[in-house]
Every structure is written in C-alpha cells, then in structure tokens.
Amino acid sequence: MSGDPRIRQLLVDTLAVSALRSVLEVARTVGVDVAPIKGVVLARWLYDTVVERPYRDLDLLVGRKGLPRLEAAVTARGWRIRHMSLEMGELEFEVDRLVVEVHAEFGRRDLTRLSNEEVLARARPDRETFPFEVLRVDDVDHLLLLAANVTKKSYTYANRHQPADLERLLLQLEKRWAELAARAHAASFSTGLHSVAAWMAEERGSTVFARFLAAFPPHELRLLPTVIRVHRRLGDRRGNRLRSASGLLGLALATLTPDDWSLRARGFARVVRRGLARRLGLDPG
C-alpha cells in the first residue's frame, strides 16, 4: 500500500464504501436495518475531503434483535468473524481485508436509555452521500453517539479524530442545541454529555463546547463530574505509574455516568463480572 497517507486513506475509503454496499445488500436479505456511522460518513458530512478525516474501519449501527440474523448472514457469506458478543452487542468481521464493526448498543450497554432501535427509527433514507441508498442517523443522535464513545473509553482513550468530529458536529447543530440537551436528559445521559462538553472545553480548548455549557448547564450539581475531571487529567499523564489504575477507574466512572441509578448498578455489576471472568481465564462473552 502507498506510503503517502492521503493515497492510503483514499484506498481505505474505497474499500470501506465497497464493503458498506456489500454489507447492506447482505443485511437486506435477512431484513435487518443497518446505518453507517462515524468515519465513513463523517468524513463526507463534516470535512471538505475524505482524506481530511482518516479512519481505518467501517462502523455500522444495528438493532439488538437484528444482530443474530446479521451474524448468521455474515457467516453464510463467508466473511471471517473476528469477534462476537451478543451480551455487549458487538460483531466484528472482515470484508476484503477491511474490518467492519457492528454495534447493537448505543456506545456501551447500560450507558444510556437511548436504544439503537429508537435511533434507527429516526434515521432517514439518504441517496446523496453514496451512489447507493443508506440510512442517515439524525445528527443529534450522532453527536450523542460520539459523546457516548468518548465516555466508554474513559475520556483519556478517545481516538485523535473525535475532538474535531465533536466540535464540527456541535457547530453544525447550533440551532438544535436545546433539542440536544433535551434528548440527552430524556436518555439519562445528561451527565455524560456535559462531562464530554467539559472535556472538550477545558482540555481541548473548544469555544463551541464552552458556549454550549454556558447555555445549557447541568441539571444538577454532582460529585461525579469532578471525579471524572480529576481522572481525565491523571490519564493524560503518560508514563505515570498510576496509568493502569487510572484506566480501571475510568471504566468504572463510565458505568456510573448515566443519570439513572438502575443503569449505573447494572453497568457497574457487568464490568465487575466480566473483569472477574477474565481474571479466571474465562471468556466473558
């Protein structure tokens, strides 16, 4: 593959678009709705050219009930499955050397009350982005999804393109900020959204997120955002001996981010159970 990163990204993008078309065709044969998210679409919706927003794999959103059917169709198609977890709603496979990641949970299980089924129901047919029709996830939902991804990765492990994606998308959504705040609140993800906004404003110098925070402050004052802020700064100290402990703390904090206590309890219990299974050498599933 070419050493020029721009040419390399064009090649990846070509593979991703081809893989997207193939997966959509397979998904239709089993009646499963699939929507492209993140790199392959944001590179087109938020940037002037696709090479400005590098990405390495194809991310897709699917409903919970459709995941087993899609896995069976992928297996029948002969694509190599790299990872599958029905519990966590994750399916990863390869199409022509490109990794395809299918997500049946909104960010991470029990992180929010927003379901993929609800998001897919709001998605609209898009015949302009690609030479074939796709479902376009509503931009408010897409921003919440990006925020959920930052949260589940403990803020310190977000990929290097996420801050630019978040900032560009929030700016594009300025007239819908009230709707964004209301949808996050309804999804029990208000603390998560405001913690990501603080991360963007304080650590990434985003004036757009600073304005959002000023216009839509958190509904309540809680200790958790302060702990998250301290954790983020610990995590940024690369080489620190507490790095591993900070990562474990970040995962625990992510499970405690939802505004709903039942989500927090289930999420924390799941992290503990899966962590214990790994320590015992068992497959957490």
Contacts of 276 (CB under 8 A, 6+ apart): none
Which is more confident, 235 or 169? 169
Please give the share of the chain, as a percent, with pLDDT higher than 90: 62
> Which of 112, 137, 162 finishes a domain?
137
Based on the fold, state whether residues 56 and 142 are members of the same structural domain. no
Give the pairing type, strands 98-103 and 58-62: parallel
Summarize the confidence of residues 143-161 as an average pLDDT: 79
Based on the fold, state whether residues 41 and 148 are members of the same structural domain. no
CA–CA distances in Å: residue 50 to residues 42, 57, 64, 125, 128: 9, 14, 30, 21, 15
Based on the fold, state whether residues 262 and 158 are members of the same structural domain. yes
Residue 49 near residue 88 (C-beta atoms within 8 A): no
Domain count, the chain: 2
Range of the domain at 20: 1-137
Residue 136 near residue 129 (C-beta atoms within 8 A): yes
Based on the fold, state whether residues 117 and 160 are members of the same structural domain. no
Residue 156 has pLDDT above 60, yes or no: no
> Which of 137, 156, 173 finishes a domain?
137
List the structure tokens of 54. Answer: 């590098």
Which of 38-47, 61-70, 149-158, 251-260 bottoms out in mean pLDDT, i.e. has the lowest? Answer: 149-158
Based on the fold, state whether residues 67 and 24 are members of the same structural domain. yes
Based on the fold, state whether residues 181 and 279 are members of the same structural domain. yes
Provide the pLDDT confidence category of residue 232 given band limits of 50, 70 and 90.
Answer: low
Summarize the confidence of residues 215-237 as an average pLDDT: 69
Q: Which helix (H) or strand (E) holds 270?
A: helix 261-279
Tokens 């690369």 label which residue?
Answer: 238
Based on the fold, state whether residues 51 and 88 are members of the same structural domain. yes
Based on the fold, state whether residues 246 and 177 are members of the same structural domain. yes
The pTM of the full predicted model, rounded to 2 decimals, is: 0.88
The pLDDT, as a whole number, for residue 113 is 93
Mean pLDDT score of the chain: 87
The pLDDT, as a whole number, for residue 93 is 98
Residue 239 has pLDDT above 50, yes or no: no
Residue 120 has pLDDT above 60, yes or no: yes
Based on the fold, state whether residues 144 and 285 are members of the same structural domain. yes
Summarize the confidence of residues 148-155 as an average pLDDT: 80
> Which of 137, 155, 174 finishes a domain?
137
| CATH number of 107's domain | 3.30.460
Based on the fold, state whether residues 114 and 204 are members of the same structural domain. no
Based on the fold, state whether residues 74 and 151 are members of the same structural domain. no
Q: Which helix (H) or strand (E) holds 65?
A: none
Summarize the confidence of residues 187-216 as an average pLDDT: 93
Tokens 């309804």 label which residue?
Answer: 186
